[in-house]
Amino acid sequence: MELVALLSTGKGTWAQVSGLIKYGEWDNIIILGNDFAQKFTSEKKFEFIKIDLDKKLVELRDEFKEKLKGKIRGTEVALSIASGEGKEHMALISALINLPVGIRFAALTKEGVVDL
């Protein structure tokens, strides 16, 4: 399964994404974020896609969709939206559904990586 993760704002949210990457078994990892998120590092290889998170909702959805088109290999992804705010989450979920691709929400818990 592929992991798609949003890196935006929120205390401790980058740690959640980092843990998902480290402890999950992923065929492919795509990280989406702004200029600041480009500083994110991981032991595992991932593709970073720069997004202008300051755009309005519909424009943001369209940018997510345009930049994700052709990047997802399977028919479903594990999605982490632990980082970010509602507008960003809505835009990303809408873009994925419209690609179309199925979504499973993923989180890192004390028990490990789980589907929600």
The architecture in CATH of the region 2-115 reads 3-Layer(aba) Sandwich (3.40)
Q: What is the CA radius of gyration of the chain?
A: 13
pLDDT surpassing 90 at residue 116? no
**Spatial strand order in the sheet of 2-7:** 47-50, 28-33, 2-7, 76-80, 102-109, 112-115
pTM score, whole prediction: 0.93
Q: With bands split at pLDDT 50, 70 and 90, how would you rate the model's confidence at 10?
A: low
The whole-number pLDDT of residue 11 equals 63
Per-residue pLDDT reduced to its tens digit, 19-36: 999 999 999 999 999 998
Summarize the confidence of residues 2-20 as an average pLDDT.
Answer: 88
Cα–Cα distance for residue pair 96/102, rounded to 1 Å: 7
The whole-number pLDDT of residue 109 equals 92
Query: Can you list the alpha helix ranges (DSSP code H) found in the chain?
Result: 13-23, 57-68, 86-98
